[in-house]
Amino acid sequence: MSSPSLTTLPAWQALQTHAAVIGGQHMRELFAADPDRFARLSFSFGPIRADYSKNRITPETIGLLAELARARGVEAGRAAMFAGERINTTENRAVLHVALRNREERPMMVDGIDVMPEVRATRARLKAFSDKVRSGQWKGATDKWIKHIVNIGIGGSHLGPMFVADALKDFQKPDLSVAFVSNPDRAQLDEVLAPLDPANTLFVICSKTFTTAETTANADAARAWLTSRLGESAVAKHFAAVSTNVDAAVKFGIHPDAVFPMWDWVGGRYSVWSAIGLPVILACGFEAFDQMLAGAEAMDRHFETASLEQNLPVILALIGLWYTDFFDAPAVAVMPYDHRLKLFPFHLQQLDMESNGKGVTKDGTPVETKTGPVVFGGGGSDSQHSFFQLLHQSPRLIPCDFIIALKGADGSGPSRDLLMANALAQTEALMKGRKAVELADTPEGLRSHREFSGNRPSNTLLLDELSPYVLGMLIALYEHKVFVQGLIWGLNSFDQWGVELGKELAKSLVPVFFDPALIVNGPATAEGVLKARDSSTAGLALAYLQAKAQK
């Protein structure tokens, strides 16, 4: 059964009419007309203050968008997620990452079974294991303290923990380094391992499936590096793993005490709250991780219980969708003005684009509108000196998120003043622009070059500080934002079939390059396999094989 049309809904049509009116207005006028605009269009939730007044909206816009969200069943969808329903329909799975940060006694059910006892037991094991490693009770095979953690994973088993560990650098144990390897190009692993001593190195293999080609290649290489120096028996003391595929991890040689489970109801890009957070726990300690869970839990309660109009993730979702669908904005830019959050855009890319980069609705019919935007970004200061030109003067409209913590690693020192001044100046410039009449001293021929249209939207998130608690809130905020947008578009935000075809095609090319003897299905020779491909793929593959033969 196909779901009712999105664009024929009265709420959608009311928004189209409203967009035509707002489209003719400049934010300068909206600010001038309402001295209380900031108060009306900003929202504080605990340590996060969100200013969304520099958007092409009025309070009426939020009301109309909330009506659309209601008409698309956002409240019911939200309840279904918390109730553990199998809302990931194409994989027939529940979506219950919120259970991972449920620190109350509240049961969280999947198919009538409370998952919390297992979640709590795993948390307790993670704490015990990390305490042992950090205190030197868990030693390497030659009785040396573990001094280096190397996480091997990719996608959600890499981006989330890498971002969080980096953001919480101030909380890391000084004598325990942590590094992240995802790329099967040996250059990355070799670079990480070069200064390390296997005797005090612990590898954490993070893979929900334990079958991901890049991760297993790196895990095998890491294992070879270790065993060539310390022998086979050392594996048990120098490897830990996180996976739903516990048997595969144990088969790899990892000691069962160091294998931590996850569950099919945790999506990769939502998994940093699970045992996938192990490198963070090892580096920063369980208390810091638990505080991050507490922050996410606070955001969950807010998201679950607040009305749509007073709900921070919902508001950000609605504003984002407003530009995607009513202003044809192709992308969104995220700029943290804080070095510690520099990796956030990479985490968000997977979170948003893998969730909502979809062309069909849940029932398999083509979407009627644009869906998830391209997400890009980077540290605010650096980005100002690179892609901000396009944000200010390109005909494309790119809504922006600015994120800044009021206190930096050095407290509220002068470096914060400079960052804050620049972040505010950029949002002001995007909003106001500069008219030709304000360029009286500029030669006529240069005026259009120096003119800024303005009317370019941005949200600003002010964080009281960047503690583990606030970081947890921030990540959960964006998770729920993406979920709400997916609900309105009618998507399954929790599958990622779009990454599969390339994986399958690569699987058939690997033996051609690596070992033609491995070609077991289909044409029996490398030439045969390549003949079945298009001329471009075959031509490039042959060029690679020739170069390889000449070495």
Task: Considering the complex, state which of residue 129 and residue 494 has its C-beta at the smaller distance from ligand F6P.
Answer: 494
Selection from 209, 264, 219, 282 nearest residue 499 by Cα: 209
Q: Rounded to whole angstroms, how far apart are CA atoms 269 and 153?
A: 12
Shortest distance (Å) from residue 331 CB to ligand F6P: 21
User: Could you tell me which residues come within 8 angstroms of residue 469 by beta carbon, excluding any fewer than 6 positions away?
Assistant: 47, 291, 292, 294, 295, 298
Residue nearest to ligand F6P (CB): 268
Which stretch in 18-26, 206-214, 232-240, 327-335 sits in contact with ligand F6P by CB under 6 A? 206-214
* Choice from 54, 208, 237, 481 touching ligand F6P (CB under 6 A): 208
Task: Find, among 76, 180, 486, the residue nearest to 321 by Cα.
Answer: 486
Please state the closest distance from residue 102 (CB atom) to ligand F6P, in A: 22
Among 128, 425, 499, 532, binds ligand F6P (CB under 6 A): 499
Active site residue 354: yes
Q: Answer whether 337's CB lies under 8 Å from 384's CB.
A: no
CB atoms within 10 A of CB 476: 26
Report 113-142 residues binding ligand F6P (CB under 6 A): none
Stretch that binds ligand F6P, among 152-160, 318-326, 453-461, 521-529 (CB under 6 A): 152-160
Tell me whether residue 287 or residue 500 sits nearer to ligand F6P (CB atom).
500
Among 215, 361, 455, 467, binds ligand F6P (CB under 6 A): 215
- Give which of 477, 161, 473, 463 is closest to 338, Cα–Cα: 463
At its nearest, how many Å lie between ligand F6P and the CB of residue 543? 27
In angstroms, what is the minimal distance from the CB of 268 to ligand F6P?
2
> Is residue 268 at the binding interface for ligand F6P, with CB under 6 A as the rule?
yes
- CA atoms of 82 and 109, how far apart (whole Å): 9
- Smallest gap from Cβ 182 to ligand F6P, in A, equals 9
Q: Is 551 a catalytic residue?
A: no
Confirm or reject binding of residue 345 to ligand F6P (CB under 6 A): no
DSSP, collapsed to helix, strand or coil, labels residue 362 as coil
Closest CA to 35 of 61, 53, 14: 53
Q: What is the DSSP string of 169-231?
A: GGGS-TT-EEEEE--SSHHHHHHHHTT--GGGEEEEEE-SSS--HHHHHHHHHHHHHHHHHH-
| Per rule CB under 6 A, count of chain residues that contact ligand F6P | 14
Q: State the Cα torsion 157-162-165-168 to the nearest 10°.
A: -120
Of positions 69, 152, 154, 281, contacts ligand F6P by CB under 6 A: 154
| Contact flag: residue 218 with ligand F6P (CB under 6 A) | no
Q: How far is the CB of 165 from ligand F6P (least distance, A)?
A: 17
* C-beta closer to ligand F6P: residue 291 or 496: 496
155 scored as a contact of ligand F6P (CB under 6 A)? yes
Gap between the Cα atoms of 173 and 466, Å rounded = 17
Q: Among residues 293, 317, 313, which one has the least CA distance to residue 305?
A: 313
Least separation in angstroms between residue 519's CB and ligand F6P is: 24
SS3 (DSSP) at 428: helix
Exactly one of 104, 105, 385, 504 is catalytic; name it.
385
Distance CA(425)–CA(111), nearest Å, equals 51
126 or 319: CB nearest ligand F6P: 126
Which residue in 58, 61, 172, 212 binds ligand F6P (CB under 6 A)? 212
C-beta of 188 vs 453, nearer to ligand F6P? 188
Q: Which two tokens stand for residue 8?
A: 């024929």
CB of 77 to ligand F6P, least distance (A): 21
By CB under 6 A, tell whether 207 contacts ligand F6P: yes
Count of alpha carbons within 13 angstroms of residue 415, beta-carbon side = 10
Residue 411 DSSP class: B
Torsion angle (degrees, nearest 10) of CA 402, 408, 413, 417: 0
Please indicate whether residue 503 is annotated as part of the active site: yes
Binding-site member from 156, 261, 277, 486 for ligand F6P (CB under 6 A): 156
Quick check: 157 binds ligand F6P (CB under 6 A)? yes
Which of residues 241 and 526 has its CB atom nearest to ligand F6P in the complex? 241
By the rule CB under 6 A, 54 interacts with ligand F6P: no
Which of 498/528 has CB closer to ligand F6P?
A: 498
- CA dist 207 and 369 (Å) reads 34
Question: Do the Cβ atoms of 488 and 80 come closer than 8 Å?
Answer: no
Q: Which of 209, 227, 422, 508 binds ligand F6P (CB under 6 A)?
A: 209
State the nearest-atom distance from the C-beta of 249 to ligand F6P, in Å. Answer: 12
CA separation for the pair 79, 76 (Å, rounded): 5
In angstroms, the CA 92 to CA 154 distance is 23
Catalytic residue among 29, 169, 232, 503: 503
Instruction: Pick one of 151, 383, 427, 496: the residue that binds ligand F6P (CB under 6 A).
Output: 496
Q: Which residues are catalytic?
A: 354, 385, 503
- Footprint of ligand F6P on this chain (CB under 6 A)? 154-157, 207-209, 212, 215, 268-269, 354, 496, 499
